[in-house]
């Protein structure tokens, strides 16, 4: 658990740090420095290998940090949505934790809501309001 907490703190800090404009400017400056040094190294294979290796390593590591951040953010949003469903009178509690259902059950829910949307659009085109709360 301690390793997980450490990684979470590290990933959050790294994501905040890497998302700053200064870090982007730094990355641009590194690329510009690499371009400027091209003639000094006669555009050698080693010169090209330096930028290729560096960007590959950074990209590889950033994928994991971004995925961690995205997973955490998605989980937080799902919990917030679940709370809104739970606290809203008349909301369908069966929609709580929907993201954990299998594909067939999720498709069944999606089809029911797609039918509700189609019916609401049809009624809207006939001049009716679409602000009621139909039964799902």
The tens digit of pLDDT for each residue in 52-62 reads: 999 999 999 99
Residue that is written with structure tokens 């029911």 in the block: 112
Q: What is the pTM of this model?
A: 0.67
pLDDT tens, residue by residue, 55-86:
999 999 999 999 998 999 999 999 999 999 88
Contacts of 65 (CB under 8 A, 6+ apart): 11, 14, 15, 18
Whole-angstrom distance, CA of residue 99 vs CA of residue 113: 15
């Amino acid at each position: 658990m301690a390793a997980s907490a450490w990684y979470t703190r590290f990933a959050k800090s790294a994501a905040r740090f890497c998302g700053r404009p200064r870090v982007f400017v730094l990355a641009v400056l590194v690329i510009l420095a690499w371009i400027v040094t091209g003639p000094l190294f006669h555009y050698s294979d080693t010169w090209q290998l330096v930028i290729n290796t560096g960007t590959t390593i950074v990209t590889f590591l950033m994928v994991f940090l971004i995925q961690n951040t995205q997973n955490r953010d998605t989980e937080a949003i799902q919990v917030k949505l679940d709370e809104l469903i739970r606290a809203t009178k008349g909301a369908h509690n069966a929609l709580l934790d929907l993201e954990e259902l299998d594909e067939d059950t999720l498709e069944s829910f999606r089809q029911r809501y797609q039918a509700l949307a189609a019916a609401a659009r049809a009624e809207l085109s006939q001049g009716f309001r679409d602000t009621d709360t139909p039964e799902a």
